[in-house]
Structure 1
Amino acid sequence: MTKDAVTSHQEASGLKRMGANIAWLFGGKGFGAICSIAYLAILARSLGIRDFGHFSLIFATGQAFVALAGFQSWQTMVRYGTRYVHAQDWVKFGRLSMLCGLLDWIGATLGCVVAWIGYYIFADDLGLNPAYIDMAFAFNCVLLWSRVSAPVGIVRVLDRFDIAVYVEGLVPLGRLLAALLLWFTGPTVGKFLFAWAAIDLLSAAAYWISARWIAPTSLRARHIGDWRTTLTENEGIARFFGVTYASSTLDIAFKQGPVLAVGYFLGTSAAGIYRLADQLAQGFGKLSQLVGRAIYSDINRSRVAQTAAQFRQLVKRVTAIAGIGSILIVTLALLLARQLLGFIGGEGYESGAVIFVPLALAASLEMASVAYEPVLHATNHARLALLARILAIAALGCGMLLLVSQGSLGIAWAVVAGQAFGYLAMGTMVLIAMRKMGHSQV
């Protein structure tokens, strides 16, 4: 076989593996999307605009606290664990797994402390409804402890996306069943929060059990005490933890910040309408996260196993495919915005159609840039990805300050501006990183 033929075969193999992983996740997410639309419709219709707004603000606040306290340890598992899987070094893989799990638990503990301070000391400053503070705090703590990242990374680096589909399918199915039950037994904000919390805990337990099942020789409690060894044998891991933590925090701030801003400046009912439009738009955005998660491990694996030229070609092909997906998102948004909102939420939510279009445009930009952050991480330029997110959040903040007088629509267009700025910045960083391949900084 000629050199060109070998190169072509390796590129095709990488794309085929990505395609298989994406197919598994799309199957699961397709099922999840159907369930999500159904339970979102029940939520919006049964609670009404105002209470749905309360639920949305509590959920968004919880997600923000989770981002502040949570490490993206799944990315670290993939980034550093890929070489151990490649070398079949399960002892080092186990030490890395338990370090990531330990950080998840530390983050959850600290997050509960931060949430208590936020809910009980600064509640008045944040404009929180006193009637919901206790349940919001309890819900937030459950979100923190049910947020699993290390086992997600273990499943992905071992290429068991089939297991991820089954486990993650528990959440939308459980929420749909709970929503149907509450619809007939008397829906309240508190009951929905309790149901969502219980289902998230079940999913977290299932993820850890699955990770232990597929890596029984690696997930050993004794490895928890080896954290110093793990830090030593994985050069740059502490910096990578810090960079991915900051990057994920900014990403959540970008996604949840506008909802909180609408609630703060425009009221609970406006937040409910904005949230429904945002949920639908982020449904398209989740396709980006879906693809990003599927390709993350393969891009890291390709960087280890392929030449620089092969890696560049793979990145170009993935980016081209993502661009086609982004065009489809915008087209669907323009055609189906009002019908989707009216069908899910009822007539009171149809006014959100004008908000949905710019939010879907932002989601399309996210899809177009889906390969950028994995590439920057794989090429040891995670700091450039962080810089791009900082620029995007700055653009979002400036946009919201300038456009908040235009109401929810103004904030939606601020999201587009921030996403566009981030897209251009991240794309520029990727070009820089590809030219510097071979450097070792993180």
Structure 2
Amino acid sequence: MATTGTKSEGPVKRAIRNAGWLLAGKGAGGFFSLFYLALTARSLGAEQFGIFALILSYGQAVTNLAQFQSWQTVVRYGAMHEADAAPDKLRRIIVFAFLLDLGAALAGTLLSVAGVYLLGGQFGWSRPEQDLAALFCLSLLFGVRGAPTGVLRLFDRFDVAAYAETVLPATRMAGALIAWMSGASIAGYLAAWAVAELVTTGAMWWASVREIRKRFREPVMGPRVRGVVEENAGLWVFAWTTNLNTSLNLVWKQFPVLAVGWAVDAVAAGGFRIATQLVGALNKPTIALARAIYPEFAKLAVVDRAAINRTVLRACLIGALAGVIALIAVLLAGQSVLQLVGGEDYLFVFPVLLILSVAAVFDLSGVAIEPALVALGRPGTVLWVRGMVSIMFAAALAGAVLVYGSLGAAVATAGASLLLLILLYAAFRKQE
């Protein structure tokens, strides 16, 4: 097996380099997203775009529920097996992660379809719209790509992952253009998003299989999974805990859009979705840093746990600075961008966009804390903190959205982000 990383680089420098590769893929997504989001919003109109946004948020929420975040399992246990020069164990953990992805996709398919027909009426969806949502969920669930993502990050091939992930925004952009030129309805745009997910999954698997073949003489699917639990202490606990952490994380990303659609209307939900997308596009550089630094933490946890503390501090300072810059950008250009993306119909979203940008400052200020805790083998601590904050957030969101609408949802999101930052930081200090 080839070694991972460049030995002369420190973890932060290497993480920034890898984040640059991630940003090359996700930054392209953020850039393209402004175009295909504007194209979709202007083409469908406020009401139809709101329905599109609700279906999209529901599908992505179910996808997050189904995913096992198996890439974290591959990175954490794979780093140990690489350090021990145990290729057979490494191959088994990759196969285990693939089976997790497959099982989650199958189980999530049943859950999502049932949920559409049970809950679709709460969002005002007609029966044809419920059928569209169910089909869209099927395509997203079979687009899970945790195992190949973990392989590329473990082998320090963030450059290859960046090329593969560029397929997603490029395919979405092409699909949105085709839907726009053909005068497609919601179904056409949903089909464009679905095809993009499936094509990207294919690209990620192709790239990861290439890397696997470079490092193993035998096919990676050759070894039996039997014994993988015994040779990886705490494997199931880690897998389930990281999955639940991700499921709770969706509360911040998709649940507010669904809550606004339920309590207000589809137009308000569409506006909230646009604000969320814009904030997400601004924060992609720091989110890329968080994903790039986790493999470094996983390796440091094996050889130099003390270095994690210094790395967390530096990464969080970088995140906080990026958050402040993003907030200033929203203050200066937020209204112009909203008008460019959605037109006059969405200028009402500007106060929501400002508040969500404040929430992003809190999120980015703690960008390295959660990856560090997971790498140190404490995903249970993250789950406990996220679970407690999520319960409080859900209660606050339900009340705020009924009384203040979209603005209340944004304020509840910012408050939850601040509380999460405080509690995660306190939990990390206990590990020092």
TM range (shorter): over 0.9
User: Offset at 1:318?
Assistant: 1.7
Mapped pair 1:150 → 2:147:
yes
User: Offset at 1:299?
Assistant: 1.4
The amino acid across from 1:76 in the alignment is: T
Q: 1:48 to 1:199 in 2, by over 3 A?
A: same
User: Offset at 1:313?
Assistant: 1.8
Alignment partner, residue 232 of structure 1: 230
CA distance in 2, matches of 1:52, 1:127: 14
Alignment partner, residue 426 of structure 2: 428
User: Offset at 1:125?
Assistant: 5.3
Alignment partner, residue 304 of structure 1: 302
Instruction: Report if aligned partners of 1:112, 1:141 keep a CA contact under 8 Å in 2.
Output: yes
Identity of aligned residues (%): 32
Q: 1:275 to 1:125 in 2, by over 3 A?
A: closer
CA distance in 2, matches of 1:164, 1:142: 21
Q: 1:304 to 1:346 in 2, by over 3 A?
A: same
CA shift digits 1:267-302 (9 cap, x unpaired): 111111111111112223444431111111011112
The amino acid across from 1:310 in the alignment is: A
Aligned length, in residue pairs: 423
CA shift digits 1:100-138 (9 cap, x unpaired): 000100000011111122123454456433221112111
Matches within 5 A, 1:61-80: 61-80=58-77
Mapped pair 1:395 → 2:392:
yes
Alignment partner, residue 40 of structure 1: 37
**Correspondent of 2:274 among 273, 276, 290:** 276
User: Offset at 1:338?
Assistant: 0.8
User: Offset at 1:90?
Assistant: 1.9
User: Offset at 1:408?
Assistant: 0.6
CA shift digits 1:224-248 (9 cap, x unpaired): xx33311110000110011101100
CA distance in 2, matches of 1:342, 1:219: 53
User: Offset at 1:29?
Assistant: 2.6
4+ runs of 1 displaced by more than 4 Å?
9-12
The amino acid across from 1:428 in the alignment is: A
Instruction: Report if aligned partners of 2:122, 2:262 keep a CA contact under 8 Å in 1.
Output: no
Alignment partner, residue 243 of structure 1: 241
- TM-score, with length taken from structure 1: 0.92
Alignment partner, residue 378 of structure 1: 375
CA distance in 2, matches of 1:15, 1:270: 40
The amino acid across from 2:232 in the alignment is: N
Mapped pair 1:213 → 2:210:
yes
Secondary structure class of the residue paired with 1:147? coil
Q: 1:69 to 1:28 in 2, by over 3 A?
A: closer
Mapped pair 1:313 → 2:310:
yes
CA shift digits 1:23-44 (9 cap, x unpaired): 2122233322221111111011
Q: Structure 2 unaligned segments of length 5 or more: list them.
A: 1-5
CA distance in 2, matches of 1:287, 1:409: 26
CA distance in 1, matches of 2:219, 2:243: 23
**Correspondent of 2:88 among 85, 88, 91:** 91
The amino acid across from 1:65 in the alignment is: V
CA distance in 2, matches of 1:395, 1:121: 25
Q: Structure 1 unaligned segments of length 5 or more: list them.
A: 1-8, 435-442
CA shift digits 1:4-48 (9 cap, x unpaired): xxxxx9896222211211121222333222211111110111111
Instruction: Report if aligned partners of 2:168, 2:196 keep a CA contact under 8 Å in 1.
Output: yes
Instruction: Report if aligned partners of 1:151, 1:208 keep a CA contact under 8 Å in 2.
Output: yes
Alignment partner, residue 335 of structure 2: 338
Instruction: Report if aligned partners of 1:288, 1:366 keep a CA contact under 8 Å in 2.
Output: no
Alignment partner, residue 412 of structure 2: 414
Instruction: Report if aligned partners of 1:284, 1:360 keep a CA contact under 8 Å in 2.
Output: no
Instruction: Report if aligned partners of 2:27, 2:285 keep a CA contact under 8 Å in 1.
Output: no
CA distance in 1, matches of 2:288, 2:48: 30
Secondary structure class of the residue paired with 1:230? coil
CA shift digits 1:363-421 (9 cap, x unpaired): 12111111011110121211111112112212322321332211111111111011111
Once the two structures are overlaid, the 10-residue window that deviates more, 346-355 or 118-127, is 118-127
Instruction: Report if aligned partners of 1:391, 1:421 keep a CA contact under 8 Å in 2.
Output: no
Instruction: Report if aligned partners of 2:143, 2:201 keep a CA contact under 8 Å in 1.
Output: yes
Once superposed, what is the RMSD of the aligned Cα atoms?
Answer: 1.8
The amino acid across from 1:31 in the alignment is: A
Instruction: Report if aligned partners of 2:27, 2:284 keep a CA contact under 8 Å in 1.
Output: no
**Correspondent of 1:197 among 194, 197, 218:** 194
Alignment partner, residue 3 of structure 2: none
Secondary structure class of the residue paired with 2:229? helix
CA distance in 1, matches of 2:175, 2:123: 30
Instruction: Report if aligned partners of 2:19, 2:285 keep a CA contact under 8 Å in 1.
Output: no
CA distance in 1, matches of 2:39, 2:122: 32
- TM-score, with length taken from structure 2: 0.94
Instruction: Report if aligned partners of 2:143, 2:198 keep a CA contact under 8 Å in 1.
Output: yes
Instruction: Report if aligned partners of 2:283, 2:323 keep a CA contact under 8 Å in 1.
Output: no
Alignment partner, residue 264 of structure 1: 262
The amino acid across from 1:234 in the alignment is: N
Instruction: Report if aligned partners of 1:97, 1:219 keep a CA contact under 8 Å in 2.
Output: no
Instruction: Report if aligned partners of 1:376, 1:430 keep a CA contact under 8 Å in 2.
Output: yes
Q: 1:433 to 1:134 in 2, by over 3 A?
A: same
Secondary structure class of the residue paired with 1:433? coil
CA distance in 1, matches of 2:80, 2:48: 49
Mapped pair 1:188 → 2:185:
yes
The amino acid across from 1:222 in the alignment is: G
Q: 1:176 to 1:123 in 2, by over 3 A?
A: closer
Instruction: Report if aligned partners of 2:31, 2:281 keep a CA contact under 8 Å in 1.
Output: no
